[in-house]
Structure 1
Amino acid sequence: MKQVVVLGCGAWSTAIAKVIADNVASSNEFCSKIAMYVRGETHNDRNLVDYINNDHINPVYLPCITIPTNVVANSNIKEVVSDADIIVVAYPSRYVQWLIKQMNGHVKENAYFVSFCKGLVLYSEENRVKLVSDMIREQTGKSCVVVSGATTAIEIAEQQFTEVTIGAKNYDHGSEVKRLLQTNYLRMVITQDDVGVELCGGIKHVVAIAAGICDGLKLGDNTKSAVLRIGFWEMSELMKELFPDRGTDWLTIEQSCGMAELFICKSFRYLLFVFL
């Protein structure tokens, strides 16, 4: 059976770990326990690993949710990944390169990655941007599936219905990830356009911030609708401009990773820009 691990202890990674743990508990395909990498962090002078393993809560990032008992937290990343077949990365994109350096040389030959990271990596010296999944592939030599969509951690943890897009050139890996994650409240759709899926998840933040600024300036729904429409169009143009030879499909933007992402621009995550 396949061993699954989750790298990260934020709200998003905790919610993902909960979904996976619930699914694998009675699975004949995946190991019934999952490991969760938690970088050394404390809360009220107590290690976060201790909270997760003994109290089954994450008091820092998702305090209102009970974590399944088959989630085992560990602050030693080498131990976490050494037996893993599927490595789920739910880490801030700016720290992924550091994460890779910590685990390199300890990942199994046939293991592959699943990236939930939203964002792009800027290489200023090369004057270009790079996808997080590309960085993972290049620096580990492993395959990487991409997952993105209109999601908030708390709603997934509360089992509210959600749609998510899986981007996978390797269909077998994409199908396996779907079996790992899909539930009666979490619907997965697979596309081979992994570049489009990840790019939508990264650049929609720019459009979302612009929409929040519209609210802050009290510009009204007409203006914000125009911003969202133009932003939607520019997302499709950027897909072609940044990665013209990677098989991006403009239809990808109609999936949860694109259009639906823009629908949550009024969520609490962007309210900060209302008050600028």
Structure 2
Amino acid sequence: MERVTVIGAGSWGTAIAVLLARKDLQVKMWSVENPVVEEMNSKRTNESYLPGVIIPDSVSVYHSVAEALREATVIIMSVPSQAFREVVQNILPLLTGEELIVNTAKGIEEASLKRLSEVFYEEAGRDLYDKYVALSGPSHAEEVSREIPTTVSAAGTNRKSCERAQELFMSPRFRVYTNPDLVGIEIGGALKNVIAICTGISDGLGFGDNTKAALMTRGLAEISRLGVAMGANPLTFAGLAGVGDLIVTCTSMHSRNRRFGIEVGKGQTVAEALKTVRMVVEGYRTTGAAYRLGKNAGVSMPITEQAYNILYEGGNTAESVSKLMMRGKKHEMEEVVETAYPEW
């Protein structure tokens, strides 16, 4: 039987621990926040991150990362994307090299513009990279912890590692597919947060379903365009970590990215909106990274550019809407028309 350690005790890390404990696994967790450790061990709750959910007795939470990792066969990384590299550096000396590494964070490292699997490869090398799996898809922690049916993808370069993760997580209420397209899974999971901020801004401005649908559809086109330029399979973006995650993040009030966007649309500053949401808003930092990635790759990403203008340059939300709506005339499927319908 696998021995699992979850690194990070935020909402998603806690939900994962609860999910696996319900499968009769012994789960250890590590958190940098001492009050969270004390609360989870004594009261069996994590009200700051996952209110209303009872933590099973088979989950033990530690202050010491070395103690949490002792005898672990599976390590689940559930830390903010911008802290991912530092945490990996800290735990590597404690590993045997045989552990399965499952990453649940969705983001791009802002400083390097690298996907998180690339960050892991740089720090851990080829042997451990073969044991790296990214878990992504439409999966709010609030729903997973309450056993609401959920489906995700496990992606990695090594099929056996992906199947090992699939076996670990599969349950009657949590279905896992495997996927070899690690690039596409990571790009879809990261950039959907940018579009979720934009749909939130739209809601905050008082716009309706038409606007939200347009942002999601054209946002998916941007995500796919950049993903393909980076080596992803375009079909991945029609799957769970693409359109699936985009739908759930752009439409649900569980989404902290959407909630952040709503506050910005209502007129709060970025700092005020971040404070209102309280928890990490991955899409804020990802917007800056996605903007630079698009520029470096020469990929057209007008929605992302306007999100960057609003969040990083103090741009006016209403003016950004006008700029998007009044862009030059285009085919809906520009690349397809140019290649498949040259005479049209």
Q: Which residue of 2 is the match for residue 272 of structure 1?
A: 260
Does structure 1 residue 249 correspond to structure 2 residue 242? no
Q: Which residue of 1 is the match for residue 9 of structure 2?
A: 9
* Aligned 8 A contact 1:164 1:257 in 2: yes
Structure that is richer in helix per residue: 2
The amino acid that maps onto 1:233 is A
- Aligned sequence identity (%): 29
Where structure 1 has 5 or more consecutive residues not aligned to the other structure, the ranges are 26-31, 43-47
Q: Which residue of 1 is the match for residue 179 of structure 2?
A: 191
Separation in 1 of the partners of 2:133 and 2:119?
12
Shift of 1:40: 3.4
Does structure 1 residue 263 correspond to structure 2 residue 247? yes
Superposed CA offset, 1:159-198 (max 9, x none): 1111111112211111111111111111111110111111
Separation in 2 of the partners of 1:223 and 1:55?
44
Q: Which residue of 2 is the match for residue 20 of structure 1?
A: 20
Superposed CA offset, 1:172-231 (max 9, x none): 111111111111111111110111111101001111111112222223322322221111
Separation in 1 of the partners of 2:210 and 2:26?
50
Separation in 2 of the partners of 1:226 and 1:60?
34
Q: Which residue of 1 is the match for residue 60 of structure 2?
A: 72
* Aligned 8 A contact 1:84 1:108 in 2: no
Deviates more, 1:229-238 or 1:52-61: 52-61
Shift of 1:139: 0.6
2:60 counterpart SS class: strand
Separation in 2 of the partners of 1:272 and 1:122?
19
Separation in 1 of the partners of 2:218 and 2:238?
15
Shift of 1:80: 1.9
* Aligned 8 A contact 1:82 1:108 in 2: no
* Aligned 8 A contact 2:82 2:110 in 1: no
* Aligned 8 A contact 1:121 1:132 in 2: yes
Q: Which residue of 1 is the match for residue 152 of structure 2?
A: 164
Separation in 1 of the partners of 2:208 and 2:11?
32
| Aligned pairs for 1:90-239 within 5 A | 90-123=78-111, 129-141=113-125, 142-143=128-129, 144-239=132-227
TM-score by structure 2 length? 0.71
Does structure 1 residue 37 correspond to structure 2 residue 37? no
2:209 counterpart SS class: helix
* Aligned 8 A contact 2:197 2:260 in 1: no
The amino acid that maps onto 2:123 is Q
* Aligned 8 A contact 2:196 2:261 in 1: no
TM-score by structure 1 length? 0.88
2:164 counterpart SS class: helix
Where structure 2 has 5 or more consecutive residues not aligned to the other structure, the ranges are 268-344
Separation in 2 of the partners of 1:69 and 1:231?
42
* Aligned 8 A contact 1:83 1:107 in 2: no
Separation in 2 of the partners of 1:112 and 1:181?
13
The amino acid that maps onto 1:38 is S
1:129 counterpart SS class: coil
1:95 counterpart SS class: helix
Query: Which structure has the greater CA radius of gyration?
Result: 2
Separation in 2 of the partners of 1:108 and 1:217?
52
Cα 1:38/1:222, change in 2 over 3 Å = same
Q: Which residue of 1 is the match for residue 331 of structure 2?
A: none
Shift of 1:54: 2.9
* Aligned 8 A contact 1:5 1:36 in 2: yes
Cα 1:36/1:180, change in 2 over 3 Å = same
2:44 to 56, 62, 87: 56
1:262 counterpart SS class: helix
The amino acid that maps onto 1:267 is S
Q: Which residue of 2 is the match for residue 29 of structure 1?
A: none
Separation in 2 of the partners of 1:222 and 1:2?
47
The amino acid that maps onto 1:51 is E
Does structure 1 residue 89 correspond to structure 2 residue 77? yes
2:110 counterpart SS class: strand
Shift of 1:78: 1.9
Separation in 2 of the partners of 1:234 and 1:191?
21
Separation in 2 of the partners of 1:52 and 1:213?
35
Structure that is richer in strand per residue: 1
Separation in 2 of the partners of 1:205 and 1:226?
16
